[in-house]
Amino acid sequence: MPIYNPTNPEIWTGRKSGKNLYLHEIVKYTDLDSIVPDATSKTIAILGYACDEGVRRNQGRIGAVEGPDAIRSQLGKMPNHLNLNTKLFDMGSIQCAEGDMEETQNALSEKLAQLLKKSLFPMVLGGGHDMAYGHFQGIKKFLNGSRSIGIINFDAHFDLRNNANANNSGTPFYQIAQECKANGAGFNYLCLGIRKDANDKVLFQTANKLDVSYLENERFHLRYWKAVKQELHTFIAKVDALYMTIDLDGFSSAYAPGVSASSPMGFSPDIVLECLKVILPSQKLISMDIAEMNPKYDIDNRTAKLAASLIHYITQQIG
């Protein structure tokens, strides 16, 4: 069974202003049972997925189990620009126990559904990208077929590997696609930053068979912003709700060395920030996560700072 651990407040540190100028000064530590929905305020809920069993099964570099706290430690230092009526909660982390990734995913899906039912905006910190399967399941439970779901994935990898032998960090979107097919639901998946040196021919064939929308890395660049923007608008228009997932290994290792599968050939933060300026105003984004933070291989907290800065930007826009 997965373990649910509250966050150690000592992880959230930074300058002390006494005036709530920094995020570590306003974050509250709580659990779901203690939260009372408040229609007059926006509530952002941070939840950790401390699991890299899927990375291990996918023959990647383990260490992402420590990812959630590494991101928290950098986020706490950042300045607070949230509206006065916006609340920031740290809900703790779901810890994988005895390699039981599937139960950890199930626990994540239950937590996600509960957060959404209480009108919170979830931001999940990982952890291997296998969390995408649990995350999607939580959204699906919450919506219960009432709205179509679109997935926007910033990633070098499709993560559409066949799961016939085992589920892992490379199979989540294949699993989602198969369930959508079985349930007669549309599989709406947009992947931005795909690299040919990170996906074999079978994965491209699978993506095309599943009618996946994607932009390869050489086109996912500000030089081609008009086309990227159009791709986003087209995708967003055809769905009712959005789940956004940012895999840190999609970024160049110049920005994100601390990941399970690093490469210097990845994309840069500027194109992702421009995409966020399209996604966030759509008012369709209901949940998000950041995957594959691996502090074991980070350099000067570079990757953790990138993840924290992305979260910081998103929180300021929605809160």
CA 148, 51, 136: angle at the middle one, nearest 5? 5
Q: What pLDDT is stored for residue 281 in this prediction?
A: 97
- The total of structural domains in the chain comes to 1
- For residue 40, name the pLDDT band (cuts at 50, 70, 90): low
The pTM of this model reads: 0.97
Tell me the binding residues.
129, 155, 157, 159, 247, 249
Looking at residue 108, which CATH number applies to its domain?
A: 3.40.800.10
Joined together, the tokens standing for residue 11 give 């992880």
* Spatial distance between the Cα atoms of 39 and 318, rounded to a whole number of angstroms: 15
Burial class (CB in 10 A: 0-12, 13-18, 19+), 107: buried
- Cβ-Cβ contacts under 8 Å for 291 (sequence gap 6 or more): 64, 126, 127, 128, 129, 131, 132, 245, 246, 247, 248
Give the sign of the dihedral formed by CA 59, CA 63, CA 66, CA 70: negative
Q: What pLDDT is stored for residue 102 in this prediction?
A: 97
pLDDT digits over 195-205, tens only?
Answer: 999 999 999 99
- For residue 223, name the pLDDT band (cuts at 50, 70, 90): very high
Residue 26 has pLDDT above 80, yes or no: yes
> What is the rounded average pLDDT for all residues in the chain?
96
ω into 127 cis (within 30 of 0): yes
* Spatial distance between the Cα atoms of 98 and 101, rounded to a whole number of angstroms: 9
Q: What pLDDT is stored for residue 257 in this prediction?
A: 98
Tell me the binding residues for Mn(2+).
129, 155, 157, 159, 247, 249
What is the number of alpha carbons within 13 Å of residue 24 lying toward its C-beta? 21
- Hey, is 4 helix, strand or coil? strand
Residue 41 has pLDDT above 90, yes or no: no
The whole-angstrom distance between residue 315's C-alpha and the CA centroid of its chain comes to: 14
Q: What pLDDT is stored for residue 319 in this prediction?
A: 77
Closest CA to 276 of 296, 290, 262: 290
Joined together, the tokens standing for residue 55 give 């990375």
Q: DSSP string covering 203-250, please? A: HHHHHHHTT-EEEEGGGSSGGGHHHHHHHHHHHHHT-SEEEEEEEGGG
Residue 107 has pLDDT above 90, yes or no: yes
- For residue 7, name the pLDDT band (cuts at 50, 70, 90): very high
What range does the domain containing 164 cover? Answer: 3-318
Residue 39 has pLDDT above 70, yes or no: no
The DSSP output letter for 44 is E
| Average pLDDT for 126-135 | 98
- For residue 249, name the pLDDT band (cuts at 50, 70, 90): very high
CB 148 within 8 A of CB 241: yes
